[in-house]
């Protein structure tokens, strides 16, 4: 993937897997300042469904985006996310994978000769094949110089 | 804020400020695996609008959520985010603040006696008062035991 | 709590809990350069009372101070600590909580119209209710402008 | 230094220097959850004496202890700290050094045949030779097996 | 690149660029325990050629290897490195890029039907085009099942 | 050890032990961008010899170098490494120790009055006494001023 012209509707990607560790949660709490006991307090977490500390939603979203960022595309930037949903808790030791599909390609309304929008629907799946999170990733992508009519 | 019954439509919150540092970007790249040159390569970044490395969108979202998580509410969990938008780039040294308003309170469609949804519209503002990001934070909140009819 | 005038003798605070993780110890060793085998070497640690790696004293003190820093008071700064004592070892997986009481309020000897000292006695308790550490936290607090005679 | 018998009253140590970086402050905030704007918000910090973000007291204490922990002594453990005082602010870019003197050697009151206490007075000095912090580090040190009468 | 059969002599790779930050050096010191003043003490570093803190050699090697690990090949593992040389100092703010060439493909002497060795010569270049480090990366690569005679 | 003149052929060093943790691997992946599933994906790792996630080679090398850097010698700098070999996998929870011997002392070919080279052969050993890695560490060491003829 490089310029907007190269994106194809229906094309899919699948990341490698990554195990969510206690260290990831500790680092994410540290980065964000979110020390909610749901994430940080093993005693409190016994009272939650699942009975264990859960990863932060923003950690799962951030990791999922990063897992698909191995293919570095210098022509694309994150414009936003739509309908981010945390569907099942992710616990320490779960292994997650991201898979995605390009479901929309749109001209930029104001600068169609410079940019396009690509909409990538992403699902995060755990080691049991359960979808734990889903979201739409909106990219602002440069058009190939000289490519627009 | 504690149980769903205590949430009030129109109530607002404002975080303390936090300066986005080069270390935050390095740590976020490390946590997510997103080493896009927009964030990591000062030479490449000269070609971007603004001419400097930009914070990851997921970093700004995660920090913003965390900045409002100082008031720990054990009864609430993140359900998701809607319409996350990165409006202006955040550069190293910018100081951001989050402000929010409860704009929706909804019964849980299937388990109204147990949970409610609170919708908090959040804006992230930089030191010049410019909105750099905005999103809706959806919380799943426990109802006060015995409070529902 | 804001200005010195708002502090009350005998008022108490209690933090949320936090589980001390292996990642916390690794990060603290990295931050400080203290790689004593008591903290870092599981084989060596078998020879210690308890038989396991122990958290650094400075980690427990730092975490305890931080756990009570969720209520951000822009008018207060740490002036020092008295009688910091590490009473029982904290092992990986222990969950600690901080509780405190304001036990002294003193005028600043040289600038009583500008500052006061608040003395907060803090105890750190593990998941079995045992006190693992204790210390006095001394705060230098701004007086409310115009409040002193 | 190894067993209690080897400690000498009046012996001194001096660490290498270490520059306190913005990254150190960000990591310490993350480790402790202490995001006070004095440490994290460059805009707020303009209103402070010095006009810049200051290192956390617990960071300076922890770094200072760590700087003297390069000589690993497997026979010693931190028992506590007395009269920890933060005398001058430490700003980003300051370089600190720790120097210390053994000022007390005491038998353990209950188990004199097993342990002794060593009191090490530590001063933390910046690149201008100013003392920025001081504290007494109390060590619990094993006696040489068979050394006590 | 996947199985040993797919590696081609003379094929080259080039990474994206990455700016070496003060945070990277602080994190590497923390990970390794190497707090040599060449890396950590800005005052001491004035006496060095260049007059500034230098990145650790192991940091430059580790980053360089990582910069070329974006193409994840599940069939390859690092076997070792030969002739790692640090040719010029890397200072905070330098931007490095890795470029490499496959210069050797060898059968595994004992298990030629299972593995091969690929030798990748790597150069690390700074923003001025100067080679700052060089090394040979030796990979142990799985052969395609059933591919050997 | 200080100036080149103080180095002695055949002199040996032995580090303290350090347990390789999951947090170390997570931090090293973050520092380098190397998220190969051999290190990060517990599910994938079941297919590897040993069946568990393995530490990165560059992590073991970096830790080993750091473990011997506790004796800070301001007169020495790393010049390079020869024949770095990863002999056995290191898994989470293994405890490693470094031991070394000075096996070569050579005059600097061009500036023999200013520098010498010291060659230190290092072995990394796990808790079962198995050698997991080995390498030659080449130091560039300052000569004592005025010491050369």
Q: Which of A22, A26, A95 sits opposite F42 (nearest CB)?
A: A95
CATH code: domain F4-142 is 3.10.129.10
Distance from CA of B138 to the nearest CA of F (A): 30
CB contact under 8 A, E69 and F33: yes
- The rounded distance, in Å, linking the Cα atoms of A20 and A60 is 9
CB contact under 8 A, F16 and D72: yes
Instruction: Say whether pLDDT at E70 is over 90.
Output: no
- The rounded distance, in Å, linking the Cα atoms of A1 and D14 is 56
Q: How many CB atoms lie within 10 A of CB B105?
A: 15
Region E119-141 average pLDDT:
97
Q: What are phi and psi of B10, to 5 degrees?
A: 90, -10
Given this model, what pLDDT does residue E2 score? 84
Given this model, what pLDDT does residue D73 score? 84
- The rounded distance, in Å, linking the Cα atoms of A97 and B131 is 33
| F112 Ramachandran zone, left/alpha/beta (phi>0; psi -120 to 50) | alpha
Instruction: Say whether pLDDT at C124 is over 70.
Output: yes
pLDDT in tens, F44-89: 999 998 999 999 999 999 999 999 987 778 898 899 999 999 999 9
- A residues 89..148 contacting B (CB < 8 A): 135
Q: What percent of chain F has a predicted confidence (pLDDT) above 70? A: 97
- The rounded distance, in Å, linking the Cα atoms of B138 and C69 is 26
Q: Quick one: CA dihedral E49, E54, E59, E64, positive or negative?
A: negative
Distance from CA of F46 to the nearest CA of D (A): 32
Q: Quick one: CA dihedral A94, A99, A103, A106, positive or negative?
A: positive
Interface check for F48 against chain A (CB to CB < 8 A): the answer is no
Instruction: Say whether pLDDT at D105 is over 90.
Output: yes
- The rounded distance, in Å, linking the Cα atoms of B133 and B57 is 9
Given this model, what pLDDT does residue B149 score? 46
Chains that touch C (3 or more CB pairs under 8 A): A, B, D, E, F
Instruction: Say whether pLDDT at E128 is over 70.
Output: yes
The answer to whether D119 and D106 have CB atoms below 8 angstroms apart is yes
Work out the pLDDT band at C149, boundaries 50, 70, 90.
Answer: very low
Which segments in chain B show pLDDT lower than 50? 149
Given this model, what pLDDT does residue B147 score? 64
Instruction: Say whether pLDDT at D148 is over 60.
Output: no
Which CB contacts under 8 angstroms, 24+ apart, belong to D118-122?
D118/D4, D118/D7, D118/D76, D120/D13, D120/D68, D122/D64, D122/D65, D122/D68, D122/D98
Name every chain A residue with its beta carbon within 8 A of the beta carbon of D33. 29-30, 33, 35
Find the closest chain F residue to E137 by CA distance. F84
- The rounded distance, in Å, linking the Cα atoms of A141 and A108 is 9
Q: What are phi and psi of C92, to 5 degrees?
A: -55, 130
Distance from CA of B77 to the nearest CA of A (A): 8
Domain ranges of chain B: 4-142
pLDDT in tens, A123-146: 999 999 999 999 999 999 999 987
pLDDT in tens, D61-95: 999 999 998 777 889 889 999 999 999 999 999 99
- The rounded distance, in Å, linking the Cα atoms of A24 and B12 is 31
Interface test with E, best of C24, C33, C40, C56 (most E CBs within 10 A): C33
pLDDT in tens, A41-69: 999 999 998 999 999 999 999 999 999 98
Distance from CA of C58 to the nearest CA of F (A): 19
Distance from CA of F59 to the nearest CA of B (A): 15
Interface test with B, best of C70, C75, C97, C98 (most B CBs within 10 A): C70
Given this model, what pLDDT does residue A70 score? 78
Region A100-126 average pLDDT:
96
Interface check for E23 against chain A (CB to CB < 8 A): the answer is no
C57-67 and D22-32 helices cross at what angle (nearest 10)? Answer: 70
Given this model, what pLDDT does residue D55 score? 97
pLDDT in tens, E30-45: 999 999 999 999 999 9
Distance from CA of D21 to the nearest CA of B (A): 10
Find the closest chain E residue to D22 by CA distance. E23
Distance from CA of D23 to the nearest CA of B (A): 5
Q: Which of D23, D27, D42 sits opposite B19 (nearest CB)?
A: D42
Given this model, what pLDDT does residue F72 score? 79
Interface check for F10 against chain D (CB to CB < 8 A): the answer is no
Find the closest chain D residue to B128 by CA distance. D43
pLDDT in tens, D5-48: 999 999 999 999 999 999 999 999 999 999 999 999 999 999 99
CB contact under 8 A, D16 and F70: no
What tokens does C99 get? 């509780």
Name every chain E residue with its beta carbon within 8 A of the beta carbon of C31. 30
Interface test with C, best of D1, D17, D37, D80 (most C CBs within 10 A): D80
Given this model, what pLDDT does residue B2 score? 84
Find the closest chain D residue to C30 by CA distance. D66
Region C71-96 average pLDDT:
94
Of the listed ranges C135-149, D120-134, F131-145, the least confidently predicted one is: C135-149
Interface check for C33 against chain E (CB to CB < 8 A): the answer is yes
**Mean pLDDT, chain D, integer:** 94
pLDDT in tens, A16-31: 999 999 999 999 999 9
Instruction: Say whether pLDDT at D124 is over 80.
Output: yes
Region C10-37 average pLDDT:
97
CB contact under 8 A, C33 and E35: yes
Given this model, what pLDDT does residue F81 score? 98
Work out the pLDDT band at E72, boundaries 50, 70, 90.
Answer: confident
């Amino acid at each position: 993937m490089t310029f907007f012209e190269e994106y194809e509707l229906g094309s899919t990607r699948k990341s490698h897997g990554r195990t969510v560790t206690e260290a990831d949660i500790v680092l994410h709490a540290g980065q964000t300042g979110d020390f909610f006991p749901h994430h940080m307090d093993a005693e409190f977490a016994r009272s939650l469904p699942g009975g264990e500390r859960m990863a932060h939603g923003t950690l799962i979203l951030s990791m999922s985006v990063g897992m698909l960022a191995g293919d570095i595309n210098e022509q694309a930037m994150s414009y936003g996310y739509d309908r981010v949903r945390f569907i099942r808790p992710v616990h320490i030791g779960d292994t997650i994978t991201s898979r995605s599909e390009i479901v929309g390609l749109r001209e930029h309304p104001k600068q169609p000769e410079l940019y396009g929008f690509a909409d990538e629907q992403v699902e995060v799946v755990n080691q049991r094949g359960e979808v734990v999170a889903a979201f739409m990733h909106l990219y602002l992508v440069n058009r190939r110089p000289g490519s627009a009519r």
